[in-house]
Structure 1
């Protein structure tokens, strides 16, 4: 499969336009390979992990964390320099889906909400809100049911209708409009004159973390046991007031301690995240469970690899497990 087609799929599943202003999503190293039948997925672009990916024969590697946030000069021995040498020598491509994946609505970053079956889920920290557009055009011939169904089933389409005067109206997410317009042109054999109108609702929100309600309230012991079953970590670090009953749960994968107050104000009984620090733990107004940056995002990328494999059906997609940089020593 052509590398450019693979990169296009990366960008659909992790839209680069949704990344935070401080981030560096997208191509990290542009390779010489033009086609490949193997794509590797991993959390961290470490020399050890990338070595395994390249040894397997990956022509493209997609990691969650970027190789760098700001441009670096390759002028000193470092992990960064080691990765550059390995990847460039192989001719492979290295791509990062960081906050572009974290913020994709319904994406794998929200796997914990799925596993806990949270209801009435809302974004915890909204970054952007995108309203769809209404596109209309006229055609003398009625649109066939088959054509209308094809358009309606396209990603980003909210509705398709045609009135008696021949006017066809589509409500579509703006990011998908160019592709939809091309399909309309192909279906009717010509490119009609489109009239485009911006709408104010419904609005698609993107952002970090989620909050929702459990299907049924749980006692604290039942909840923490349930969470333990879903999060693969040797120890969960707990801080703040422990509730007797858990009804509303908020979470944010990776480093999310800055969202504690937001979770509290939204009514969460428990907030699950990684990378808790001492002072936020002392001051937190609600119970916080530090499930580990690595464990939450490693599972996210494992699930993303499965999603990617479903999209790239003609090539082999393989997830490469990482290693938690933290080790637990239990005193005997």
Structure 2
């Protein structure tokens, strides 16, 4: 059994659309073809020689990586470089390589939300907004007997969300008219004769990032051969996305207690820390990977501590000045959880959509590069 690479990638991009990625980033399909058949997927934090060897041994068709293989434009692919050897191996063994990097960091349900879940944070908010989704109004016209099926289909695909309310739609009855022409296969009516049908005008709002999926679902379930619909721009604020998260612990912890919890939840043996000004910690900011740029933002939003990686000397100095505690669990330590996160997400979505089952696994050979001795 297999899926096309496009089908698997579409599931990833429903979670983490490419437009969420930072301007400097390079995400998406970096090696391969969308129409290639995929029966085995390997999810990894990095694509290096060890991971490529593992993929070849497992006869993997698609690697989903967090960190890009091709970060900047390449003017040459040389086999005496690590990147060149990886690209050559991927092409030779017909292995696609797809990257979900900062778009997955930023996505709702992405890496930073996984990190917040590890700490059981409550009232989780975005730390640094970076993107606001546009909102569109969708209007379509449905025969009365099909209204429930169509409404359920488009709302389940992501339409009709307003704040804490789902399935928000408006309906108005009317009469539609049409004349089937030659070569048509009408749901109602006869070729060459004007037909009048009792219809329902169904309207709702859709995030622009989910519009394509909603329209695809509409076309799939609507009974008409040619589905009539209108899309209008709407001048309201859409859903916000951004880097990092900030939230509250279920119960206040001492610095020592929080250190122990982070080690346990992330499976990290060693941490670098900056002691917070407060005795007990309640509000935590976090950013997977390298989040030192968010030190000021975390302090401004009232965090007692920032959990991140890649802390530098002067970053720590700034944190002390602001009274902000830091736990540096490392770039690897704060991001390796993405492997399990994407594996579980893909397995769930494939089952929910009734797609052909494929093998999705987490890379075993991906190890952190830095050791403390």
CA deviation after TM superposition for structure 1 residue 148, in Å: 2.1
Map 1:14-25 → 2, pairs under 5 A: 14-25=16-27
Moved more, 99-108 or 75-84: 75-84
Runs of at least 5 residues in structure 1 that lack an aligned partner in the other structure: none
Map 1:248-287 → 2, pairs under 5 A: 248-284=283-319, 285=322, 286-287=324-325
Q: Secondary structure at the match of 2:43?
A: strand
Output the CA distance in 2 between the equivalents of 1:140 and 1:12: 30
Counterpart of 2:358?
315
Map 1:56-67 → 2, pairs under 5 A: 56-67=58-69
Equivalenced residue count is 329
Runs of at least 5 residues in structure 2 that lack an aligned partner in the other structure: 162-167, 175-199, 352-356
Output the CA distance in 2 between the equivalents of 1:31 and 1:87: 12
1:118 to 121, 124, 149: 121
Query: Is contact 1:308-1:317 (8 Å) kept?
Result: yes
After superposition, give the CA deviation of every residue in 1:111-151 in whole Å (9 maximum; x if it has no partner). Answer: 12112222222111111101322212344636533332222
Counterpart of 1:49?
51
Q: What is the aligned-residue RMSD (CA, Å)?
A: 2.1
Moved more, 7-16 or 183-192: 183-192
After superposition, give the CA deviation of every residue in 1:76-111 in whole Å (9 maximum; x if it has no partner). Answer: 622112212211110111111111211111224321
Matched, 1:178 2:181: no
Query: Is contact 2:171-2:202 (8 Å) kept?
Result: yes
Q: Secondary structure at the match of 2:302?
A: coil
Counterpart of 2:372?
328
After superposition, give the CA deviation of every residue in 1:135-175 in whole Å (9 maximum; x if it has no partner). Answer: 12344636533332222212344223313453211111122
Moved more, 302-311 or 16-25: 302-311
Q: Larger C-alpha radius of gyration, 1 or 2?
A: 2
Query: Is contact 1:9-1:311 (8 Å) kept?
Result: yes
Q: Secondary structure at the match of 2:38?
A: coil
Tell me: CA distance 1:80–1:140, structure 2 relative to 1, closer, same or farther (3 Å): closer
Counterpart of 1:295?
333
1:11 to 4, 10, 13: 13
Q: Secondary structure at the match of 2:86?
A: helix
Output the CA distance in 2 between the equivalents of 1:259 and 1:32: 36
Q: Secondary structure at the match of 1:188?
A: coil
Counterpart of 1:103?
106
Map 1:115-264 → 2, pairs under 5 A: 115-139=118-142, 141=144, 143-158=146-161, 159-165=168-174, 166-185=200-219, 186-201=221-236, 203-264=238-299
Counterpart of 1:92?
95
Output the CA distance in 1 between the equivalents of 2:282 and 2:318: 22
Give the TM-score, by structure 1 length.
0.92
Q: Secondary structure at the match of 1:312?
A: helix
Query: Is contact 2:159-2:204 (8 Å) kept?
Result: no
CA deviation after TM superposition for structure 1 residue 246, in Å: 0.8
Moved more, 253-262 or 133-142: 133-142
CA deviation after TM superposition for structure 1 residue 191, in Å: 3.8
Output the CA distance in 2 between the equivalents of 1:147 and 1:124: 37
CA deviation after TM superposition for structure 1 residue 4, in Å: 2.5
Q: Secondary structure at the match of 1:235?
A: coil
